[in-house]
Amino acid sequence: MISYRNILCSAVAAAALLAGPALAEDKPAALGVGVFSFTSGGTAAYGKPGRDAAELMIERINAKGGIGGVPLSATYVDEGQGTEGVIAEYRKLAGDAATEVMIAALSSGNCMALAPVSDQMKVPTVGWNCDTHQLYLKDAHPYFFRPNGNTVPEFVAYAAYLIAVKPDVKRIAIINPDYAFGHDAAKIFTTAIKAFKPDVEVVAELFPKLGAGTYQTEISRLTAARPDVIFSNLWGGDLENFVRQASPRGLFRSSQAVLALGESSMQNVQIPEGVIVGVLGDGWWMSPDAAANPETREFAEAYKAKYGKWPVFPAMKMANSFLYVQAAYDKAMAGNGGKWPSRDEVAAAMKGSEVKTLTGTMQTRADNDGVVDQIIGVTAKADGHDGPVIGDMVRYKGADLMPPAGEDPIAWIGTLSADLPTKLPQPGSYK
Amino acid sequence: MFETIVPLLIDGLANAALIFLVAVGLTLVFSVLRVLNVAHGSFYSIGAYAAASLGLWVVGAGLPGWLTFASLPLSAALVAVIVGPLIERTLIRWAYGKSEAVQILVTFGLFLILEDLQRIVFGVDSFYEDTPVQLLGSIEIGGVVYLTYQLVLILLAAALLVGLKLFIGHTRIGKLIAAVVADREISQAMGINTNRVFMIAFSLGVFLAALGGALTVPQAGVSPGLGADTMVLAFAVAAIGGLGKIEGAAVAAVIVALARVLAIYFAPELDAVAPYLVMLLVLLVRPYGLFGSATTRKI
Amino acid sequence: MPLLPLATGAIIALVAATFAFPWLEFVLTLAIAKGLAALGVAILLRGGLISIGHAMFFAIGAYATAFAMRDFGITDVFALILISAIISLVAGLLIGAFVVRYRAIFFAMLNLAISMVLFSLLSKFYGVTGGTDGLRVGTPTVLGMVLEAKGFATFLFYAAIAAMVLAGLAVNAYFKSPLGEALSAVHTNEIRLEYLGIPVRGVLLVAYGLSALLAGIGGTFAAMTIGHVLPDMAYWTDSGHLVLVAVLGGISGIGGPFVGAAFLELVHTLAAGVTDAWNMIVGAALLGVIFFLPKGLIGFIRPTKKGDLA
């Protein structure tokens, strides 16, 4: 069907061309975008907001006349079908000239698999949510852009925040999902914590499989280990299940919890107050910077009206990725005298770009990785808002926590000085 | 040492209770019908979805919370009464006497269809309904807080094991089932309506699977993919205990659960492999399972 | 031999289809890879044995390729295929020596157990296997030549067709040989075979080794065409799908598994987007074939033969 729809799209475009030069210079009837996210499986709890935000952004961009006068038309691909199917869908979409740009993918595994394909098919591709620092470690990917930032600053930021609020921490336990994201985060977080405070001990390290459903035995194990701090980057349905099962068993009373992706689940499950949460970047729609931007408020209100919930950070990452694509087209067209840009010209425009987003700035480095700020805080309540919020916030500059391109990131974290957390902005300073 | 052993045992038994519920239906159906039902895991997840839906409805309708307890077995019974006879009468009955390859394939086809049907009916979201867990509260043992619900599950599984043995040994239908298990041809010759026994046994198997699914909802919820994972675990436990042996399934459930819990405590990377490693080790020594025996080959 | 023009026609149709729709190249390469594995499963089915664990050899072939590239720096496509073939054959003979002692459900379950052990190990040992993310497989070289990824994909497509033809001829010859005839006889009446002095376990071990070899070669093609290997390749539902592919296409000849695989991959590709319920379509197709078309899809175009699923 995807292929039929695209054939139809191309047919419409061809008809438009045949109809005469009056219609358009050489602009297509629609700008085809391939959008990849999880819409099935337990991971959909996190992936669905991404897709919802994509639909809303397309609606809003098209309502203002599209990009350079061309409306966006998206083809959605479910990452829940497995990497093999995702690659096949990508190849099929890329093989059709009507799809000019891709926003893919949510999962780091899929980004790793798609990056070489994007280079091969020469399609500019924006990794909208995936954040593994391994993406650009071995190979360069000239057509794959990941402006939303990587795991190193994301999890070093948690280590810094934790040391700032709990300088006497001794015993930490980790429960992360059993794939690259979980293992990388565990490594980055412990390396950073030990750089800041060498006598910290890791008393338990558990990696339940993605979608495990039940965590009862893990919760017993964590309780028995008596940690001061429990760090987790579980997400989506997994995080919700973990919180639901751990809360009644008192885990969050006996230890300080750090739920790195907590913001994305706050509206679905009751996370106790005082748990350290964040947004893996700057995508908190209520942050002071975001609140100062009327566009953001408008987007959030429209999102709430349409889907019944406030936009969680995956939704903001998706929305920001659309702005990133839009900025690339605007820049490319400005550079070539208003003509419709080719895929190559769009990729060239993305290179090194700096884009103002709904929540901050996306700075693209020379290696196509992105630098964004990191917002962290604790779960709290606020008057006048019908949902949980983040209090005691800090906003770290992305560049302060990002290893230089080409350097081994784990070794770089090891060289961080012990007093870095005291030199960075302090918790509560971002108001 | 004592500090670790107590949580270890309780976690082990709590795990074993759920695993036993997963496998006992599969092994019961196999003992009577001689069909390995690959769609068994789907009945488990359908039971879970049914219980979650019914429980959410009870809560949503403002009915008293204790009704959510009743909704668990009730939804399993509903699934068994609706789905059991329907599938046994059509697909499974057709497969009797066919080769194992055909039987496995028929139920695999059924598994694929049921997996998608669940997705169409219940969507891709996770469901969660934990009123029973909240009502029962928690209890501290050996420095670790447990859900009282977990302990109730252990008692429930033990009661179910005893109940099943009593049912088969002391009721009329149970004795008929036992007779068919012992010798199908002779039972038939003696005038036992084997078709009816098959249908009852199959529906009972569906009920046990659905009950397992229903009981897991209050503490773990239900999300897509539960059926496939459950299926292979049920296989492992049934094979370790000996296909068709109910007490075998109980012993195997305890062994597998302890292996898993030990892994999580002392070697977390072995957690997923534990059930299959146990299965492989047992089958290497006793290919027909702990309680099973080889059937004679027919010329 | 009336089948020859039919087979030739089918291959020409495959090639022609990729000229009309270039993205089919990837889909069909993958279909042939899975067809090879399904052919292996079909060999066992001929002997009356059903394995719900055969995806493990597919995964062994695929991971052998990934490890050979990552850890030993071997990049030549033919060397990779050869290495994967040898490793899966050896694995097949080792595991086979143990499992061919069992029949029916027990054979199926043992295969399942071993494949799930492999699946969990591949998923859990993150440091070695890349865990559930799997490993990336780069673009291999062809006899010292470095091809661009696109050129290599086309090369691989034709290599897969060649492998399919070679495997077809070899298995055909095997079926006609005394060993192959003995295999069918195991299904019909094993004990009579023993009375005739034919070593049944030896016959089955050869069949098992051959089926593992085919699945492994399928796996290496899949690894190279997808560019990625994943533990899911060894999950039990994938094993079920291999049996399904074989039965769907028809297990009596060598064409069936490939017809089944091509049918399944095309249904999957075309159904994605129209409906999420492709498992349902495939499950229903399987039941339909078992109930109404015991010869498999290939039964539409060719007369009944012995060895059909009954």
Q: Express each pLDDT in A173-198 by its tens digit.
A: 999 998 888 989 999 999 999 999 99
What is the pLDDT averaged over residues A122-150? 91
A82 contacts chain C (CB < 8 A): yes
Q: Does B296 touch chain C (CB under 8 A)?
A: no
Tell me the C-alpha to C-alpha distance, in Å, between residue A422 and each of A140, A196, A377. 35, 10, 16
Q: Does B221 touch chain A (CB under 8 A)?
A: yes
pLDDT tens digits, one per residue of A409-421? 999 999 999 999 9
What is the pLDDT averaged over residues C212-231?
92
pLDDT for the residue numbered C144: 82
Domains of chain B: 2-285 (1.10.3470)
Could you report the predicted ipTM of this complex, rounded to two decimals?
0.84
CATH topology of domain A2-149+289-364: Rossmann fold (3.40.50)
Q: C104-156, pLDDT tens digit by residue?
A: 778 888 898 899 999 989 988 888 888 777 888 888 888 888 888 778 888 99
**What's the confidence (pLDDT) of residue A286?**
93
Chains in touch with C (≥3 Cβ pairs < 8 A): A, B
Interface of C with B in 115-144 (CB under 8 A): 116-117, 119-121, 123-125
Chain A contact for C231, CB < 8 A?
no
Q: What is the pLDDT along chain B (299 residues), one digit of tens a residue?
A: 556 788 888 889 988 998 898 899 999 888 888 888 889 999 999 999 999 999 999 999 888 888 889 999 999 999 999 999 999 988 888 888 777 778 888 898 999 899 888 888 887 777 888 889 889 988 888 788 899 999 999 999 999 999 998 998 888 888 888 888 888 888 888 888 888 888 898 999 999 999 999 999 998 888 877 888 888 888 889 889 888 888 899 999 999 999 989 988 888 878 888 888 898 888 888 878 888 776 544 33
Query: What average pLDDT does the structure give for chain C?
Result: 84
Contact C230 A83 (CB under 8 A): yes
CA distance A12 to chain C (A): 19
Report the gap between the CA of A61 and the closest CA in chain C (Å): 24
Cβ <8 Å between B270 and C124: yes
Per-residue pLDDT at A41: 67
pTM: 0.84
Amino acid B49: pLDDT: 94
Tens digits of residue pLDDT in C12-35: 888 888 887 777 888 889 999 999
Q: Where in chain A is the domain with CATH 3.40.50.2300?
A: 2-149+289-364, 152-280+372-423
- C124 and B287 in contact by Cβ < 8 A? no
CB of B117 less than 8 A from some CB of C: yes
What residues of B are in contact with residue A249 (Cβ under 8 Å)? Answer: 138, 145-147
For residues A72-90, give the mean pLDDT. 86
Chain A residues in contact with B224 by the CB 8 A cut-off are 40-42
The pLDDT score that the predictor gives to residue A7 is 38
Across the interface, of B112, B271, B287, the residue whose CB is closest to C283 is B112
Render pLDDT for C57-83 as a digit per residue (tens, 0 to 9).
Answer: 999 999 999 999 988 988 899 999 999
Closest chain A residue to the Cα of B141, Cα to Cα: A220
The answer to whether the CB atoms of B126 and A45 lie below 8 A apart is: yes
Answer whether residue A398 shows pLDDT above 60. Answer: yes
Convert the pLDDT of each residue in A298-310 to its tens digit: 999 999 999 999 9
Which of C21, C134, C276 faces A40 most closely, judged by CB atoms? C276
* A152-280+372-423: CATH topology: Rossmann fold (3.40.50)
The residue in chain B having the minimum alpha-carbon distance to the alpha carbon of residue A204 is: B265
